[in-house]
Amino acid sequence: MENKNINTSNLCLMTGNANPALAKKIADYIGVDLFDTFVGRFNNGETQVMIGDSIRGRDIFIVQSTSQPVNDNLMDLLIMTDACKRASAHSITAVVPYYAYARQDRKTRGREPISAKLVANLMVAAGMSRVLTVDLHAGQIQGFFDIPVDHLAAAPVFADYFNGHDFGGELVVVSPDLGGVTRARILADFLKAPIAIIEKRRPRPGEAEVMSIIGDVKDKVALMIDDIVDTAGSLCEGAKALRHIGARSILAACSHAVLSKNAVEKINNSDIEQLVITDTIALPPEKQSPKFVVLSMAESIGDVILRIQARRSVSQLFR
């Protein structure tokens, strides 16, 4: 998109504390400065927000992933939204590259919450006009909102990266579970590659056990694709199974690098040769690894923001 063709004079880009580096990249791409906003803590731990100048009648875009510490970052986003609403902003778009609680999108047993819906309710109640997010764990979460949701995929960014490599026609895109087949198919279409599927079960939350692999991966370059790498159990067990049945090389791509507990150590000791992630979640020094390649979503998010601001179609970008 030609940024110069869009009037950004009324656009106001703010950031919370979750991922200011990504917000700065988005601002640089759009060609605006980050708005003067302070997000801190009172002595008792409550969130304090101060907006540096008038935003009356402005179109606000708040960049804030709800990554760790999840509840702090979520509250910061809600309170920033409330501050903008009470300051008479014209519209408030929450740019939430990583949407927390998305894996709690339905009841799988009795007496469980549907936390993804509760978070959506909170965001709408706070005063958001629109939400922009990346690779929701479950696409139906868009329906939890009573406001527009722009759901951006990381697949084109991954495809640009992997299309720059020569796999000799031996690449296979692998879904680490049955629920991720659609995501694998989308990336496979970009890469013009076949897919394979790992069938697994979860004996306990956070643990994965591979049952079988559907598809031909023998002597192939296997590329596992998932939306979230959390404890890395699924990826590492999947890589072990792929190696066992003869995959020549094993790569992985995940949109959101949560990397809980000893996930980095697991990946470093696994059969995964390279893990490609995006910057939807800030990667602190203690979670970095020579196996990681970080791709930025800044331009993709920036293009959507510009289209929203220009009242242009966003769906065209997704095609």
pLDDT over 90 at 28, yes or no? yes
In the residue annotation, 240 being an active-site residue is answered as: no
Rounded Cα distance between 178 and 107, Å, is 19
Mean pLDDT score of the chain: 94
pLDDT over 70 at 319, yes or no? no
Q: Which residues contact 251 (CB under 8 A, 6 or more apart)?
A: 221, 222, 223, 224, 272, 273, 274, 275, 276
Cβ(272)–Cβ(251) below 8 Å? yes
- φ, ψ for residue 136 (rounded to 5)? -60, 145
Q: What is the dihedral of CA 46, 75, 258, 173, to 10 degrees?
A: -170
Q: Which residues contact 231 (CB under 8 A, 6 or more apart)?
A: 206, 260, 261, 263, 266
pLDDT tens digits for range 144-183: 999 999 999 999 999 999 999 999 999 999 999 888 999 9
pLDDT band, residue 33 (cuts 50/70/90) = very high
pLDDT tens digits for range 302-311: 999 999 999 9
Return the exposure string of 10-35: e unless at least 16 CB atoms fall within 10 Å of the residue's CB, then b.
Answer: ebbbbbbebbbebbbbbbebbebebb
pLDDT of residue 2: 47
pLDDT tens digits for range 211-263: 789 999 999 999 999 999 999 998 999 999 999 999 999 999 999 999 999 99
Rounded Cα distance between 107 and 137, Å, is 15
Rounded Cα distance between 134 and 67, Å, is 13
**Of 25, 200, 220, 266, catalytic:** 200
Q: Which residue has the tokens 């065209």?
A: 316
Q: Which residue has the tokens 């979670």?
A: 287
pLDDT tens digits for range 116-136: 999 999 999 999 999 999 999
Q: What is the mean pLDDT of residues 262-286?
A: 98
For the chain, percent of residues with pLDDT exceeding 90: 90
Return the exposure string of 101-110: e unless at least 16 CB atoms fall within 10 Å of the residue's CB, then b.
Answer: bbebbeeeee
Would strands 221-229 and 209-214 be described as parallel, antiparallel, or unpaired? unpaired
